[in-house]
Amino acid sequence: MPQMAPMNWLSLFISFSILLLMINSMNFFSTMNKSPETSTNKINKPTNWKW
């Protein structure tokens, strides 16, 4: 598509870059918040092997 103006390519690049950054940041922060909860639950459950 060489007929397109360079401004259109620039706006597409900026919009897709912002979309990529938003998706990556949402993915990072959603997984980061869940990891400490699971690690504290594993620590707080002691296994009692005494019969």
- Global pTM value: 0.51
Q: 3-class secondary structure for the chain?
A: CCCCCHHHHHHHHHHHHHHHHHHHHHHHHHHHHHHHHHHHHHHHCCCCCCC
- Predicted local distance difference test score (pLDDT) of residue 23: 94
- Predicted local distance difference test score (pLDDT) of residue 22: 95
| CA nearest neighbour of 30 among 39, 18, 22, 19 | 22
Which pLDDT tens digits describe the chain residue by residue (51 residues)?
Answer: 566 667 788 889 999 999 999 999 998 888 765 545 555 555 556 677 776
